[in-house]
Amino acid sequence: MSVILDAKGLNKSFGAVTAAADINVAITQDSIVGLIGSNGAGKTTFINMVTGYLKPTSGTISFDGRDITRLNPRQITRLGICRSFQIPQLFNTLSVSENLRIGVGIVVQAGGRWGGGKGQGYDDPGRAVDAMLDQFHLGPYRNRAAGLLPEGTRKLLDIAMAMVVRPRILLLDEPTSGVSADEKFSLMDMVMAAVQEHKVTVLFVEHDMDVVSRYTDRVLAFYEGRIIADGEPALVLDDVEVRKFVIGGHAAAAGGGGHA
């Protein structure tokens, strides 16, 4: 299996705070990778570096053999690395279908250059939007302003907006946060169905270990900016250090409450 995303020796510090310390990870095509770790462990920093929002202090990131370390978010997106956000980033005054239509338009305009020349295009913008609405069960909301959606649906639209711009790698930042417990699995099922249909590699940050073990084929555990465990979900989730620093820490934080 070929490596699609390769991070080598990534370091990132904000003044005295180290958010990433010597991160080395190679992601193979078509894998589904879970990123776990307590708050501040460096998961979102990793995603922000891959998508160009933050520049690493040192180290390189390459995508499909191409160095993307110094590219900006727009250029990275156009190569096929697309993301969703912990807090949904929507076009609040526009309708749900228009939110998706914007993305379709951007892909169509880029023509054959999308995805670094390897991306899929769209033939019929209207049908493309409909298909995406169906895929994410957003049809009933198509004419509603995105700003007026319930929280779980906002989350879904946010992910659909990342999917609609034809990713080759999809990065999801806490896709199930703010989603009720009984909706979590149906949301992830929808995402996974879409991902499999279009052969997309996925990395997602997740706090719910049930979700992690059910959907991933590989887990990266972060602690204090480092990756402390990397491997099959069952092995990583059983790891002593992971149980102590990640799962235990998370449970303690959740149990203690009020831990920002």
Partner 1 sequence: MKLDRTGLSLIVVVVMLLVSGPFLPSWMVSLLNVSMCYGIVVLGMMLLMRTGLVSFGHGLYYCLGAYAAGLIDQVWKMPDMLLMVAGSIVATAVVSAVLGLLLAKYREIFFAMLSLAFSMILYGLLVKSASLGSTDGFNVAAKTVGGVAVEGDTLRVTVFSVTAVILGIAAFLLHGYLASHRGRLAGAIRDNELRVEYMGASVFATVHFNYVVSAVLAGIGGALMAVNIGHIDPEMTYWPQSGEFVFIAILSGTGSVFAPLGGALVFESVRSFAYEYSPNTWQMVLGITMLVVMIFLPGGLWSLFTRGKAKEAAT
Q: Give residues in contact with partner 1 (CB under 8 A).
A: 51, 72-74, 77-78, 82-83, 89-95, 98, 101-103, 105-110, 114, 125, 143-145, 148, 161-162, 165
* Other CB atoms within 10 A of residue 127 CB: 11
Min dist CB 145 to partner 1, Å, is 6
Q: Which is nearer to partner 1, 8 or 144 (by Cβ)?
A: 144
**Cβ atoms 196, 210 nearer than 8 A:** no
Residue 148 or 235 having the CB closest to partner 1: 148
For 91, the enclosing helix (H) or strand (E) is: none
Q: Give the CA distances from residue 105 to residues 28, 121, 171, in Å, rounded to whole numbers and listed in that order.
A: 30, 10, 21
Residue (68 or 82) nearer to partner 1, CB: 82
| Residue 184, both tokens | 């979590």
Closer residue to partner 1 (CB): 7 or 107: 107
Q: CA–CA separation, 74 vs 78, rounded Å?
A: 6
Query: Cβ 189 to partner 1, closest distance in Å?
Result: 24
Minimum Å gap between C-beta 74 and partner 1 is 5
Closer residue to partner 1, CB minimum distance, 55 or 244: 55
Give the nearest distance from C-beta 216 to partner 1 in angstroms.
24
**Residue burial 152-162, b: 16+ Cβ < 10 Å; e: rest:** bbbbbbbbbbb
| Residues 119, 104: Cα–Cα separation, whole Å | 13
CB of 36 to partner 1, least distance (A): 24
